[in-house]
Amino acid sequence: MKKARAEGYRCRAAYKLLALEQRYGFLKGARVIIDLGAAPGGWSQVLAQNRSSPLGENLLLIAVDSRPLSPIEGITFVQGMFEDEGTQRYLASLLQGRAVDVVLSDMAPNTIGRRQIDHLQSLALAEEAYAFARQYLVSGGHFVTKIFQGGAEKSLFEDLRQNFQNVSFAKPQASRTESCERYLVAMTFRKALPL
């Protein structure tokens, strides 16, 4: 945390996104990015840094969290439970018909210390994020979600493999060694054509 503060980041989570991006490059060229579970804003700060790129003026960066988020220049913040229909309707209105290039989810449940319950709750959040990604991602878009490992994530992994060109698990170095946290990185969405 000291390093994060010294380098101007709100939390160490910023280093997780930086490491994932360095390895996979899913933010390159993205114009519309959704950051779910954004507070306190480490991932959003990384996204906002991309505004200095030539694409910066065309970027739409939307952060969502049930907790408040101190303003970050270039980030449109939506406060609400992502799972709520009203929050998702409002998100859709902000998109104004634009397809999303990248959906990022760092959402995590309020853990209770019972590993299997925490695992299943994290998986439910990941599946909610994935349902949103399937609906709004552009063909060729990318999806990254946090999960707590526990065994049941295999079905989500297989589902992602049906709809993305490449899917893998990743654990950035900034994740604590003892943590069961992993990220599912799904690259190059194969959007189903309308019937």
Q: Of 28, 146, 154, 191, which one is the catalytic site residue? A: 146
- The gap from C-alpha 190 to its chain's centroid, in whole angstroms, comes to 18
Whole-number Å distance between alpha carbons of 141 and 4: 29
| Residue 28 is a catalytic residue | no
Q: In what order do the strands lie in the sheet containing 32-36? A: 75-79, 60-65, 32-36, 100-105, 137-148, 181-189, 164-170
Q: What are the residues whose beta carbons fall under 8 Å from the beta carbon of 189, sequence distance 6 or more? A: 133, 137, 138, 139, 140, 141, 142, 143, 163, 164
- Helix pair 153-163, 115-136: axis angle to 10 deg: 20
Tokens of 168: 């893998």
Whole-number Å distance between alpha carbons of 4 and 144: 22
End-to-end CA distance of the chain: 50
Give the count of beta carbons closer than 10 Å to the beta carbon of residue 98: 12
Residues with catalytic roles: 146
